[in-house]
Amino acid sequence: MFKSYNPYKLEDKMKSLHHFFSENMESFLGYPCNGKFDYRSLYPFLDYPLNNVGDPFVSSNFALNTHNIEREVIEIFQDLTKADKSETWGYCTNGGTEGNMYGLFLAREIHPNAIVYYSDETHYSVNKIIKCLNIKSTRVKALPKGEMDLNHLNQLLYDNQNKPAIIVCNVGTTMKGAIDDLKGIRNALKKNNIKRSYIHADAALSGMILPFVKDPQSWSFADGIDSISISGHKMIGSPIPCGIVLAKSENIDHISQEVEYVGSKDTTIPGSRNAISPVFLWYQLKKLGFIGFQRMIKKCFDVADFSIKMFKAYGIEAWRHNNSVTVVFKRPSDYLIKKWQLAVNGETAHIITMPHVTKRKIVSFVKEIAEDKKRALKQVSSL
């Protein structure tokens, strides 16, 4: 049986935990989570057992909800993704994985005999979701810089012309920030006479970048997607993992059911849903506005370009895709991976220049990479 803590001991434990987070935030470079936000004015909402159970567009018997705020958030994302508001629907999720699951769940219900096509660079959640949903699937090769290999996709579609196709289109891959060629994917479906298809866009990070650039790649509902998942704790920033999913309204009926218990429709994946994160998202979106996010994204690009220049000044190759804040370079030592909390895959590593990443941090980081590389070369030469 667990025992209660002495109040002073409990306070010390919390202070220690806060210090740990504060200290590690200084070297938080490898993951796409924005640490620059201030939600202190929203803390009073934590005094209530809020729950967004049910469909955000249908009234519920559970009055302690933020459905009205959630609907405003969805409306903003409908604008950002060029979705027709009369033909799309959505809700706030627990993050990108839930959004991906929702898109693939809809796709499976519409095309139960389909094959899911996803690239080698697709987020690991997709493979897990495919197993959970028990859908047939096949991997598509990726090009060296992370985009889906359309030649391989064409070959796979040709071999399975009698089957519906569900395509996961990466709008910013996890490791390299690559964006799959949506126009090329649609052309491949047409070329191979695939009449029944569904395209889900995983835009976890780039879904809050591309709406604010002058020349975005194809990625939106206007470009032919059927659903999209975007994270909220990434570029917007939130102390709680969250996101949104949008899909075509006509497809929602495939999973919708009435639930008398809560007086609403069951159209989401979870039953009880987080009612605080929609408030965080709404607050930050309204606080910064479109122009504010435009400026923020530009600063992130500036820091990314500064990072690449710093790397090159020390003779280290680094690069990023157009409209990406993911700076890719060769994997450093395990010590630096742990210290700077880097994401790595094989010989590839990256930093992601989120709004909290400053040029001062980049200078310190790249210098350590260069010194580490120098030490490694000395060790090799002394052998």
Q: Which of 129, 124, 72, 125 minimizes the C-alpha distance to 106? A: 129
pLDDT in tens, 38-55: 999 999 999 999 999 989
Q: Collect contacts of 78-83 with beta carbons under 8 A, ≥24 apart.
A: 78/246, 80/207, 80/208, 80/211, 81/207, 81/211, 81/220, 81/221, 81/228, 81/230, 81/246, 82/220, 82/221, 82/222, 82/223, 83/220, 83/221, 83/246
Confidence at residue 259, expressed as pLDDT on a 0 to 100 scale: 60
pLDDT interval class at 255 (50, 70, 90): confident
CA angle 120/121/124 to nearest 5° reads 90
Question: In whole angstroms, how far apart are CA 241 and each of 34, 138, 163, 238?
Answer: 11, 29, 36, 7
Give span(s): CATH 3.90.1150.10, the chain. 7-38+289-381
- Taking the C-alpha atoms of residue 319 and residue 351, their distance in angstroms, rounded to an integer, is 11
Q: Which of 125, 100, 29 minimizes the C-alpha distance to 325? A: 29
Fold of 41-285: Aspartate Aminotransferase; domain 2 (3.40.640)
Known catalytic residues?
324
Q: Which of 36, 51, 23 minimizes the C-alpha distance to 262? A: 51
pTM score, whole prediction: 0.95
Give span(s): CATH 3.40.640.10, the chain. 41-285
Burial class (CB in 10 A: 0-12, 13-18, 19+), 255: middle
What is the mean predicted confidence (pLDDT) over 238-261? 85
So what's the architecture of 7-38+289-381 in CATH?
A: Alpha-Beta Complex (3.90)
pLDDT interval class at 260 (50, 70, 90): low
What is the mean predicted confidence (pLDDT) over 144-158? 98
- Taking the C-alpha atoms of residue 170 and residue 146, their distance in angstroms, rounded to an integer, is 9
Confidence at residue 264, expressed as pLDDT on a 0 to 100 scale: 64
